[in-house]
Amino acid sequence: MKTYLVTGAAGFIGANYLKYILAKHDDIRVVVLDALTYAGNLGTIAKDIDNERCFFVRGDITNQELVDRLFGEYKFDYIVNFAAESHVDRSIENPQLFLMTNILGTQNLLDAARRAWVTGKDEHGYPTWRKGVRFHQVSTDEVYGSLDENGYFTEETPLCPHSPYSASKTGADMIVMAYFDTYKMPVTITRCSNNYGPYHFPEKLIPLIIKNILEGKKLPVYGDGSNVRDWLYVDDHCKAIDMVVNKGTNGEVYNVGGHNEKTNLEIVKLTIATIHKLMSDQPEYRNVLKKKVKNEDGTLSIDWINDDLISFVKDRLGHDQRYAIDPTRISEALGWTPETMFEEGIVKTIEWYLNNQEWVNEVTSGDYQKYYDEMYLKR
């Protein structure tokens, strides 16, 4: 039986990953470590925490004493590090927090693992490691910087981050690789493109657009909307991480992406059209609308759900133009392929939000409105 430490599993991808591995593997035990920042929600994973196979600890990955104690209490085999400050716009406002969590938090976890897992030294002075252990870092394609209209990021693309967020993730990746080179620590890294799916916090493009449409608010598109992102359904990312954790090669980086490039404007228009179609085909979904406009016959109108909601606003500082991933390595080495086509995934995602408005209300009940006003009213 393998024991996992999964950090950041009360957030978007970590929660989906937790559900994925608990469903996939009977013979595992998982400890979740999460600080429950604004982006973490215990309700998302409450049903998964049974105190038999899955345990929850509220705490900060930068806390050395806490992380050492957890390593002593549970004999972890795998560390999967999702915990991070993850929003580019917030990193532009407060870079320091990003460096603390994303770089120093990763270093703290690496050092705790080193203290727990090193068994001795080899003849060259390199540490020897407990068999079957691994530290997996969940990284991002943003570490490679930005592409013009041609080409793809491969694992050999030079690291060239632009935002404080992506620079902090690059710093973390470089520390992870330094521990492989210096200590021969068993590590792997995945670098994934933009994820979408259930439990995505509504500060990120797709869930923010869905939320605003339901409220009848304007849809803020940065700049001219021509920036391109490569979208991947979150379960496909979880599958990739599961494969790398269990079958990856130490010291290797794996790019993960679904060859699904779309401009932001395309994404916003597709979201508008999909919500309109779902509410047209299944009128009961209109009850979810917070903006209530009545037709003459008393039913709720959806005529106003159209592209006129789009509002072009001031661009993000240092906005990366295009991301696109070449996933050849993970496909050839581990047989990974994405399973969910975008056309299917976006409908599944929107339906999930329409059916889970309580979750949206819960995660946006705190400082969300303040954040929204500060971030968008000045644009």
Q: Which of 77, 141, 173, 203 is catalytic?
A: 141
204 makes contact with ligand TDX (CB under 6 A): yes
78 beta partners:
4, 134
82 makes contact with ligand NAD (CB under 6 A): yes
Residue type for 351, please? E
- Considering CB distances under 5 to 8 angstroms, the limit depending on partner class, which of ligand TDX, ligand NAD, none binds residue 342? none
Residue from the set 222, 352, 368, 371 that interacts with ligand TDX by CB under 6 A: 222
106 makes contact with ligand NAD (CB under 6 A): no
- Nearer to ligand NAD by C-beta: 43 or 283? 43
- Of the chain, the end-to-end C-alpha distance in Å amounts to 52
Determine whether 4 is an active site residue. no
192 makes contact with ligand NAD (CB under 6 A): yes
- Considering CB distances under 5 to 8 angstroms, the limit depending on partner class, which of ligand TDX, ligand NAD, none binds residue 35? ligand NAD
State the Cα–Cα distance between residues 373 and 295, nearest whole angstrom: 31
Q: Shortest gap between Cβ of 73 and ligand NAD (angstroms)?
A: 17
Determine whether 142 is an active site residue. yes
Ramachandran bin of 174, using left for φ above 0, alpha for ψ from -120 to 50, beta for the remaining angles: alpha
Q: Which of 60, 142, 173, 261 is catalytic?
A: 142
180 makes contact with ligand TDX (CB under 6 A): no
- Report the candidate in 322, 267, 266, 318 with the shortest Cα–Cα distance to residue 150: 322
Choose the stretch contacting ligand NAD; rule: CB under 6 A; options: 194-202, 289-297, 302-310, 360-368. Answer: 194-202
- Considering CB distances under 5 to 8 angstroms, the limit depending on partner class, which of ligand NAD, ligand TDX, none binds residue 4? none
Choose the stretch contacting ligand TDX; rule: CB under 6 A; options: 80-88, 105-113, 179-187, 363-371. Answer: 80-88
11 makes contact with ligand NAD (CB under 6 A): yes
- Nearer to ligand TDX by C-beta: 7 or 86? 86
State the Cα–Cα distance between residues 46 and 137, nearest whole angstrom: 24
* DSSP type of residue 341: -
16 makes contact with ligand TDX (CB under 6 A): no
- Considering CB distances under 5 to 8 angstroms, the limit depending on partner class, which of ligand TDX, ligand NAD, none binds residue 173? none
- Report the candidate in 173, 146, 160 with the shortest Cα–Cα distance to residue 253: 173
Neighbouring residues of 54: CB distance < 8 A, sequence distance ≥ 6? 18, 22, 29, 30, 31, 32, 48
Determine whether 339 is an active site residue. no
Residue from the set 8, 164, 248, 327 that interacts with ligand NAD by CB under 6 A: 8
Q: Which of 165, 196, 254, 285 is catalytic?
A: 165
State the Cα–Cα distance between residues 241 and 246, nearest whole angstrom: 8
If binding means CB under 6 A, how many residues of this protein chain bind ligand TDX?
Answer: 16
If binding means CB under 6 A, how many residues of this protein chain bind ligand NAD?
Answer: 30
State the Cα–Cα distance between residues 33 and 319, nearest whole angstrom: 32
Query: Rounded to whole angstroms, what are the CA distances from 317 to 153, 212, 314, 320, 360?
Result: 22, 23, 9, 9, 28
User: What track of x and - describes contact with ligand TDX for positions 85 through 114 (by CB under 6 A)?
Assistant: -xxx--------------------------
The helices-and-strands tally (H runs, E runs) of the chain is 14, 15
- Nearer to ligand NAD by C-beta: 147 or 305? 147
Residues in 146-185 that interact with ligand NAD by CB under 6 A: 169
Pair 316, 89: CB distance under 8 Å: yes
Q: How many Cβ atoms from other residues are within 10 Å of residue 38's Cβ?
A: 16
Token look-up 């407060």 returns 94
The distance between the two most distant Cα atoms of the chain, rounded to a whole number of Å, is 84
Q: Within 13 Å, how many C-alpha atoms sit on residue 314's CB side?
A: 8
| Interface residue list for ligand NAD (CB under 6 A) | 7-8, 10-14, 34-37, 39-40, 60-62, 82-86, 101, 105, 138, 140, 169, 192, 194-195, 201
| Interface residue list for ligand TDX (CB under 6 A) | 86-88, 140, 142, 194, 204-205, 208, 220-222, 227, 229, 264, 316
Would you please indicate which residues are annotated as catalytic (active-site) residues?
141-142, 165
